[in-house]
């Protein structure tokens, strides 16, 4: 049995060694807001925070999470960035969007007013095939509006 | 505690996918997150420090900080440790897709005859893979030393070209771990990187240069199966590019000249 | 009374004739310009669900007892299965079903008389003679995906490996073609070349590009009694319904296809796909719901691609820039199967040149089949044509924008049809301010960076067509629901449909819901491909809303004792020209549980006219001439797509198209192993999509004038136009910056350095040497 701290709650689950955090969140806890698009750490769709740090849950083994607090998109439901993304039209198909918002939330936590270069550096690991990047940049620039 | 089927797991950014693909096999994974130091102090960097921590640490020399900053993606830098970065495997597609190539113990390099635009221009006679570590090149140019669980050695001594007898490119024992890096402070240092996009790409060519009292050190990333120290710009004329990697020599010439100029050589 | 007529329908340049029933009292278009809802920016009606991760994609469908599938794919481009042994796989933990190719299943049936649910059982889509690496050979269904994968590794295959054919030119020489070469000629090319003061010739190449929608191809199939439910990530619910029903031999109404949210398609999800048939067959065999989802790696091997092209082009012009001749031989390296795109289309359609001769070859190769990818053919053909025109302009010393104006086509010269509307000249006029930055941009060059500006024109389809239907339901609470079994593939069509209905019903946008994505819960809707969703579905939705609005006005006229002609719907009220105003819920509420139901259909396309979209893009680049690095610094896009329904979503479409184009212009290329023909760039570290850090400043403008001949909206599609001219605009900016002719996509470091070397070599040649 494994205890996982997610979005302020604690969950017990049974998972074989080798299970990824992404699979545990989606299949065991039903938190399907975290998306899996490459499942090998290349695209950022599965981004969640561990103690506030954005990481790739598809290549994180659930048994290595330990005491660290996991924050998923479900835990950021009411973050102002969510509204900012909708306002700026920073989503098309939306499959990468939860990961984008999780990364962006970690960014604005450390730098509430990031400039363009900071945003581009911090968000480069979240691939969007629809090409919403200019809108993502606008959403993060205007998130407190 | 390592060896004999036990493999140490730090950030896991390379190891977890390789385990899944069956390229690395492990009976037991040993979580290194608590055992390995991660701080930065007095020119020493714990092997467990993440690239994300190092890219913003003012104590870290410019070349290494920039190498960390331009490495991989933000999430991979947040997960990946400097110790793990030094041990990462090549991005060669043949190797990653498990073609029975020289590096996997086979008798030929598939890339030499096949697609190899991202591959080596040095040390590529048997295996044309390119070593992807920006950080290793920076550390070598910075004349850094590594302390392992067994010994202390220069970072460039961590690597060896694969041979018929031993296809590994890392010269460490199975149970040997990098614990700490000792990074001298140069007068000036720089890391320049050519890649296929502005961020989140492995180096086509990475050039690290550091100037010390007694001269300038250079090392390249992405140009050989291992990080490649360079005695000077003239060494580039000894490159042995493949048809599809000749352009890398051209890029390396330009970046080496710029790096030397940047450190005031 | 309804009339039956025949109209012409086009999807991605392929025309078909279509019978269509036309209702009387066709609606007049709204006047040009922003209306109360239509033409004004609207945020996505489903934005919060998507942003919060609450939207349920096919990837998120988890059904009780659902099995997972792993598919064995050929590692060889061309091979024969001599022996396939699935015995150990069948006995592996968790395995509930194994599928093998039909010919093997028949042969082995006697050997496996055991459990009926395990197999081996036949599937039509599995093959013993794979013609490309990645072709599906066997499939395993198990309790978990891990178990399915583990079982798959126990399948033994003895291969007879054959030599694959991988080169397009070689295929044409050997006559390995899909279909006959398509030949086209107007005027006389040879005469045109003879009349020219200058002739330029060049060969261009474009690479294979992979779609890489973030949601991979996947389906979940479940039998409910005699009905098959298919949850699938698709661009065409009704296409999947028909394909699956035909394959299974059951009535189409026994197939229910659901796709409420989908994670991108870009043309690769127009068909049901092998994975859907595998899931359906395993579900039938096991009586369990079955998911078949491709991994990213398989996605990049087996779900289609933009095919490579080789283009040998020639252009002749008088010294003032008037084109006298355009000729092209286009080789589409289609793959083992697929279609030969209309790569010569831009050469035929973009300019009013009198003498044009083209031939398109579709080369059949042992490579993965192509699939439509956002303006297939035109992206590739525009790159060649528009680069060649700039080479011509440079040699003639004619301004490239002026050259394009001089050769403007004022009708479709291939069949003398008028355009339903064309405002390309207005696009050119608006491009002037961006074009005028040339001197200033070039002056900002400082070693080793050279800067320059280039432009390219765009032509593409986007008129859509019938049939498409929608229903509108107005309830007693005064809210409306649009019901139609279309799909929103991420383009924002759900929002656009809500806007159109809100406009017609005089309702605020937040009082309109849209129910889509389920073939059991709405009428037939068109494919979301070929820039056709807005022009096909939008008019049907407006017509359904107008039907409901007419009924509301009729009821209100009786209730409030007014003539119908003085009543209209506005801001959620029925209003009268005499000042009377009654909330809609008051009228609708009269009916108790009753509802007002409107229905609408897409009408015909304008007879005898060519419906096309147009535009121009201006790129600004910086080139590091020592390292071959190309940075795109600014892109201005001006497009004419008729009326714009949602300026906010439309801007996003243009930005997205340009950013995808940036990928195929600079960093994306699928590479194959030359021995096996298997894809080497299967993963997203090796196959390099643009990141946020690669994106230039993008300026988007629309002409935004309704096409007065096209439907009751005057709106054309916008999904594809913006991706068409970008590569050529960038290549032309590179020439302007450096003098180098890049002629191959992507403009990687090596291609840029090659072109620069070639230019230097040319400069060093003795005067008088040929440059041809």
Q: What are the phi and psi torsion angles at C308 (to 5°)?
A: -70, 155
| B106 touching chain C per CB within 8 A | no
Q: How open is the CA angle C679-C683-C689, to the nearest 5 degrees?
A: 105
Task: Give the three-class secondary structure for C612.
Answer: coil
pLDDT at C770: 38
CA dihedral A106→A107→A109→A114, nearest 10 degrees, is -170
Task: Give the three-class secondary structure for C543.
Answer: helix
Task: Give the three-class secondary structure for C184.
Answer: strand
Evaluate whether B28 touches B9 at the Cβ level (below 8 Å): no
* CA distance linking residue B205 with residue B236, whole number of Å: 12
* CA distance linking residue C646 with residue C129, whole number of Å: 49
Among residues C89, C201, C191, the alpha carbon closest in space to that of C142 is found at C89
Q: To which residue do tokens 């065991």 refer?
A: A28
Minimal Cα–Cα distance from B16 to chain A, Å? Answer: 6
Q: What are the phi and psi torsion angles at C571 (to 5°)?
A: 50, 40
Among residues C303, C322, C311, the alpha carbon closest in space to that of C396 is found at C322
Mean pLDDT (chain A) is 97
Please enumerate in sequence order all residues whose Cβ is within 8 A of that of C167, keeping only pairs 6 or more positions apart, or say none: C333, C365
pLDDT per residue as tens digits for the range B3-34: 788 899 999 999 999 999 999 999 999 999 88
| C675 touching chain B per CB within 8 A | yes
B233 CB-contact burial (10 Å; exposed 0-12 / middle 13-18 / buried 19+)? middle
pLDDT at B35: 84
Beta strand spans in C604-728 (E): 613-624, 629-640, 697-702
As beta bridge partners, residue C715 has: C642
Three-state helix/strand/coil letters over C442-471: HHCCECCEEEEEEEEEEEECCCCCCCCEEE
* CA distance linking residue A129 with residue A93, whole number of Å: 9
* CA distance linking residue A38 with residue A129, whole number of Å: 13
Domains of chain B: 6-30+37-262 (3.30.465.10)
CB contact under 8 A, C296 and A40: yes
Evaluate whether C724 touches C375 at the Cβ level (below 8 Å): yes
The minimal CB distance from B115 to the residues C680, C683, C748 is found for C680
The minimal CB distance from A95 to the residues C43, C52, C215 is found for C215
The minimal CB distance from B115 to the residues C671, C685, C750 is found for C671
Q: To which residue do tokens 């809108």 refer?
A: A135
Which of C43, C45, C52, C683 to mutate to probe the A interface, most A CBs <10 Å? C52
Instruction: Give how far the C-alpha of residue C629 lies from the chain's centroid of Cα atoms, to the nearest Å.
Output: 29
What is the pLDDT averaged over residues B37-47? 95
Name the strand (E) or helix (H) holding C281.
Answer: helix C274-286
Evaluate whether C462 touches C532 at the Cβ level (below 8 Å): yes
| A61 touching chain B per CB within 8 A | yes
Question: What's the Cα-to-Cα distance from C229 to each of C118, C242, C284, C293, rounded to whole Å?
Answer: 22, 13, 11, 16
Among residues B224, B236, B233, the alpha carbon closest in space to that of B260 is found at B233
pLDDT at C772: 35
Residue spans of chain C under pLDDT 50: 767-772
Among residues C481, C493, C756, the alpha carbon closest in space to that of C625 is found at C756
Chains contacting chain B through 3 or more C-beta pairs under 8 A? A, C
The minimal CB distance from C214 to the residues A83, A93, A134 is found for A93
C437 CB-contact burial (10 Å; exposed 0-12 / middle 13-18 / buried 19+)? middle
Minimal Cα–Cα distance from A61 to chain B, Å? Answer: 8
Minimal Cα–Cα distance from C153 to chain B, Å? Answer: 11
* CA distance linking residue C737 with residue C734, whole number of Å: 5
Query: pTM to 2 decimals?
Result: 0.97
Evaluate whether C330 touches C381 at the Cβ level (below 8 Å): yes
Please report the DSSP string for C642-667 in residue order: BS-S-HHHHHHHHHHHHHHHHIIIII
Nearest CA in chain B to C629: B194
Tokens found for residue B126: 């048997």
The minimal CB distance from A124 to the residues B20, B79, B200 is found for B200
| A57 touching chain B per CB within 8 A | no
Domains of chain A: 2-75 (3.10.20.30), 76-141 (1.10.150.120)
The answer for C106, left when phi > 0, alpha when psi is -120 to 50, beta otherwise, is alpha
Minimal Cα–Cα distance from C673 to chain B, Å? Answer: 6
Please enumerate in sequence order all residues whose Cβ is within 8 A of that of B42, keeping only pairs 6 or more positions apart, or say none: none
Please enumerate in sequence order all residues whose Cβ is within 8 A of that of C146, keeping only pairs 6 or more positions apart, or say none: none
Tokens found for residue C715: 């709106």
- What are the residue ranges of helices labelled H in C527-639? 533-560, 584-589
Sign, CA torsion B228/B231/B232/B238: negative
As beta bridge partners, residue C139 has: C71, C99
Sign, CA torsion C735/C737/C740/C742: negative
Among residues C589, C179, B81, the alpha carbon closest in space to that of A64 is found at B81
What is the pLDDT averaged over residues A46-54? 98
Interface predicted TM-score of the whole assembly (ipTM), two decimals: 0.99
Nearest CA in chain C to A137: C692
Tokens found for residue C599: 């229905």
What's the number of CA atoms in the CB half-sphere (13 Å) around residue B240?
10
Q: How open is the CA angle A72-A77-A78, to the nearest 5 degrees?
A: 135
CA dihedral B138→B144→B148→B151, nearest 10 degrees, is 150
Instruction: Give how far the C-alpha of residue C105 lies from the chain's centroid of Cα atoms, to the nearest Å.
Output: 37
* CA distance linking residue C462 with residue C265, whole number of Å: 17
pLDDT per residue as tens digits for the range B53-87: 999 999 999 999 999 999 999 999 999 999 999 99
Neighbours of C611 (CB within 10 A): 26
What is the pLDDT averaged over residues A87-97? 98
| B249 touching chain C per CB within 8 A | no
Mean pLDDT (chain B) is 96
* CA distance linking residue C367 with residue B249, whole number of Å: 32
C749-764 and B246-262 are packed helices; what angle lies between their axes, rounded to 10 degrees? Answer: 90
Which of B80, B192, B198, B202 to mutate to probe the C interface, most C CBs <10 Å? B198
Domains of chain C: 2-55+464-601 (3.30.365.10), 61-162+211-302 (3.30.365.10), 175-210+310-404 (3.30.365.10), 417-462+606-772 (3.30.365.10)
């Amino acid at each position: 049995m494994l205890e996982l701290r997610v979005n302020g709650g604690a969950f017990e689950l049974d998972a074989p060694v080798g299970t990824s955090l992404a699979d545990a969140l989606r299949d065991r806890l039903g938190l399907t807001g975290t998306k899996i698009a490459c499942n090998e750490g290349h695209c950022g769709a599965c981004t969640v925070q561990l103690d506030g740090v954005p990481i790739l849950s598809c290549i994180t083994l659930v048994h290595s999470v330990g005491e660290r607090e996991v924050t998923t998109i479900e835990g950021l439901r009411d973050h102002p960035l969510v509204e900012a993304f909708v306002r700026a039209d920073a989503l098309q198909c939306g499959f990468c969007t939860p990961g984008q918002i999780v990364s962006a939330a970690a960014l604005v936590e450390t730098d509430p007013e990031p400039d363009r270069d900071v945003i581009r550096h911090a968000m480069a690991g979240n691939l969007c095939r629809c090409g919403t990047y200019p809108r993502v940049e606008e959403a993060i620039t205007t998130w407190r509006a | 505690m390592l060896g004999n089927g036990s493999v140490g797991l730090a950030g896991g950014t390379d190891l977890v996918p390789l385990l899944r693909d069956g390229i690395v096999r492990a009976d037991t994974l040993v979580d290194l997150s608590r055992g390995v130091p991660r701080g930065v102090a007095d020119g020493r960097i714990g092997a467990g420090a993440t690239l994300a921590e190092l890219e913003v640490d003012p104590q870290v020399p410019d070349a290494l900080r920039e190498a960390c900053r331009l490495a991989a993606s933000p999430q991979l830098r947040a997960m990946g440790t400097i110790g793990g970065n030094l041990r990462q495997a090549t991005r060669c597609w043949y190797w990653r897709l498990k073609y029975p190539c020289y590096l996997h113990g086979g008798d030929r390099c598939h890339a030499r005859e096949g697609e190899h635009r991202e591959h080596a221009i040095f040390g590529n006679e048997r295996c044309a893979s390119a070593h992807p570590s920006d950080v290793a090149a920076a550390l070598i140019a910075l004349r850094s030393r590594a302390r392992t669980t067994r010994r202390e050695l220069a970072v460039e001594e961590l690597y060896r070209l694969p041979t018929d007898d031993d296809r590994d490119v890392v010269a460490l024992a199975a149970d040997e771990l990098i614990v700490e890096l000792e990074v001298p402070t140069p007068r000036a240092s720089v890391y320049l990187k050519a890649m296929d996009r502005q961020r989140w790409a492995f180096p086509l060519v990475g050039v690290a240069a550091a100037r010390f009292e007694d001269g300038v050190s250079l090392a390249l990333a992405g140009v050989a199966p291992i990080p490649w120290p360079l005695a000077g710009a003239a060494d580039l004329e000894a490159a042995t590019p493949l048809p599809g990697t000749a352009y890398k020599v051209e890029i390396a010439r330009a970046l080496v000249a710029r790096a030397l100029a940047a450190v005031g050589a | 009374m309804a009339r039956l007529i025949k109209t012409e329908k086009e999807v991605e340049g392929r025309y078909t004739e279509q019978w269509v029933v036309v209702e009387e009292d066709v609606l007049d278009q709204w006047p040009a310009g922003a209306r109360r809802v239509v033409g004004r920016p609207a945020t996505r009606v489903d934005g919060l669900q998507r942003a919060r991760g609450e939207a349920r994609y096919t990837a998120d469908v988890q059904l009780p007892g659902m099995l997972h599938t792993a598919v064995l794919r050929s590692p060889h481009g061309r091979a024969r299965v001599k022996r396939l042994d699935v015995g150990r796989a069948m006995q592996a933990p968790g395995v509930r079903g194994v599928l093998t190719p039909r010919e093997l299943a028949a042969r082995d049936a006697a050997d496996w008389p055991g459990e009926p649910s395990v197999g081996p059982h036949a599937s039509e889509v599995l093959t013993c003679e794979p013609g490309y690496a990645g072709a599906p050979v066997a499939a395993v269904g198990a309790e978990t995906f891990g178990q399915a994968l583990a079982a798959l590794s126990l399948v033994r295959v003895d291969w007879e490996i054959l030599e694959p054919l991988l080169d397009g030119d070689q295929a044409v020489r050997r006559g390995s073609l899909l279909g006959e070469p398509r030949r086209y000629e107007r005027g006389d090319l040879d005469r045109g070349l003879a009349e020219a003061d200058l002739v330029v010739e060049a060969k261009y190449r474009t690479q294979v590009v992979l779609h890489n929608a973030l949601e991979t191809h996947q389906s979940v199939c479940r039998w409910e009694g005699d009905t098959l439910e298919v949850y699938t990530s698709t661009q065409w619910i009704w296409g999947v319904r028909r394909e699956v029903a035909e394959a299974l031999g059951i009535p189409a109404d026994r197939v229910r296809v659901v796709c409420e949210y989908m994670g991108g398609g870009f043309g690769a999800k127009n068909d049901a796909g092998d994975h859907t048939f595998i899931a359906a067959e395993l579900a039938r065999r096991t009586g369990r719901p079955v998911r078949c989802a491709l991994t990213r790696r398989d996605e990049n091997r087996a779900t289609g691609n933009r095919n490579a092209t080789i283009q040998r082009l020639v252009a002749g012009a008088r010294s003032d820039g008037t084109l006298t001749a355009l000729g092209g031989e286009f080789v589409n390296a289609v793959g083992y199967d697929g279609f030969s795109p209309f790569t010569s289309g831009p050469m035929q359609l973009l300019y009013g040149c009198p003498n044009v001769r083209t031939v398109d070859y579709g080369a059949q190769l042992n490579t993965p089949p192509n699939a439509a990818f956002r303006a297939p053919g035109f992206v590739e053909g525009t790159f060649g044509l528009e680069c060649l025109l700039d080479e011509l302009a440079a040699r003639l010393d004619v301004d490239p924008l002026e050259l394009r104006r001089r050769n403007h086509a004022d009708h479709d010269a291939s069949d003398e049809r008028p355009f339903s509307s064309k405002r390309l000249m207005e696009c050119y006029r608006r491009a002037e301010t961006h074009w005028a930055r040339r001197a200033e941009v070039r002056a900002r060059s400082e070693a080793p960076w050279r800067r320059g500006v280039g432009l390219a024109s765009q032509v593409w389809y986007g008129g859509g067509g019938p049939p498409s239907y929608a229903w509108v339901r107005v309830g007693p609470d005064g809210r409306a629901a649009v019901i139609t079994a279309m799909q929103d593939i991420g383009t924002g069509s759900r929002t656009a449909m809500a806007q159109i209905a809100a406009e017609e019903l005089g309702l605020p946008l937040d009082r309109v819901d849209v129910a889509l994505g389920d073939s059991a819960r709405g009428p037939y809707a068109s494919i979301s491909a070929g820039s056709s969703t807005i022009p096909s579905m939008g008019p049907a939705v407006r017509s359904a809303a107008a039907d409901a609005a007419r009924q509301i006005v009729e009821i209100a006229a009786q209730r409030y004792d007014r003539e119908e002609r003085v009543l209209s719907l506005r801001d959620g009220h029925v209003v009268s020209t005499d000042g009377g105003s009654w909330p809609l819920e008051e009228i609708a509420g009269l009916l108790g549980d009753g509802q007002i139901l409107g229905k609408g259909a897409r009408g015909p396309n304008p007879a005898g006219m060519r419906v096309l979209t147009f535009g121009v893009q201006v790129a600004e680049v910086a080139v590091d001439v020592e390292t071959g690095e190309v940075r795109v610094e600014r892109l201005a896009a001006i497009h004419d797509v008729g009326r714009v329904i949602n300026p906010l979503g439309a801007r996003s479409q243009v930005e997205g198209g340009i950013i995808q184009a940036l990928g195929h212009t600079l960093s994306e290329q699928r590479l194959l192993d030359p021995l096996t023909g298997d894809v080497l760039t299967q993963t997203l570290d090796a196959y390099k999509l643009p990141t946020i850090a690669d994106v230039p400043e993008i300026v988007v403008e629309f002409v935004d004038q309704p096409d007065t001949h096209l439907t009751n909206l005057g709106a054309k599609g916008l999904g594809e136009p913006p991706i068409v001219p970008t590569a050529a605009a960038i290549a032309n900016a590179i020439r302007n910056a450096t003098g180098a002719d890049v002629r191959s996509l992507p403009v990687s470091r090596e291609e840029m350095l090659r072109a620069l070397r070639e230019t230097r070599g040319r400069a060093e040649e003795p005067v008088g040497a040929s440059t041809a």
